[in-house]
Amino acid sequence: MNSNRPPGRVITFGTFDLFHIGHLRVLERAAALGDHLTVGVSSDAFNFQKKNRLPFVPQEDRRAIVAALRCVDDTFIEESMELKEQYIREVRASVLVMGDDWRGKFDHLSHMCKVEYLPRTASVSTTEIESLIRTRPSPTAQIRAEQGA
């Protein structure tokens, strides 16, 4: 990471299912807001509560992918929305970062740390990837069809 990062510990949260460029960009931008980035990766059970379905990728695999990124210093499994204050305290975070689909949702935590919402990356989402995979023929099938095989 570049050494021009301002001092301070940053925390962010997410599911990071079917990890994509929007996830990478928000983590890189979050990391640039301090000199240490911790990521709370939401548990499978918490996802089921939030979205009424399980992620495609299990929590320890999602966490391993996020933990391997150069911009990420530490990770933990986020068990519940209500534990945010505790996580911020434990991590000693001075900034909480979320994508702007969460705008306003964490303002009540601004007595503990700065709360920043970053613009989402356009035109990419787990839901969109899922729908593409379901509906678009695989590139191999397409090539075979073009070759009349």
Binding region for ligand C2G (CB under 6 A): 13-17, 22-23, 26, 42, 78, 81, 98-99, 101, 120-121, 124-125
75 vs 140, which CB is nearer to ligand C2G? Answer: 75
**Which residue number is nearest to ligand C2G in terms of Cβ?**
99
SS3 46: helix
36 vs 87, which CB is nearer to ligand C2G? Answer: 87
Shortest Å, Cβ 145 to ligand C2G = 31
C-alpha distance from residue 55 to each of 11, 41, 72 (Å) = 22, 12, 21
Contact yes or no for 76/38 (Cβ under 8 A): yes
Contact yes or no for 121/26 (Cβ under 8 A): yes
53 vs 149, which CB is nearer to ligand C2G? Answer: 53
Shortest Å, Cβ 121 to ligand C2G = 4
The residue type at 46: F
Shortest Å, Cβ 27 to ligand C2G = 8
Contact yes or no for 115/96 (Cβ under 8 A): yes
97 vs 143, which CB is nearer to ligand C2G? Answer: 97
Shortest Å, Cβ 97 to ligand C2G = 7
9 vs 40, which CB is nearer to ligand C2G? Answer: 40
Shortest Å, Cβ 8 to ligand C2G = 18
Closest CA to 9 of 116, 113, 93: 93
Token reading at 60: 């320890």
Token reading at 110: 């601004």
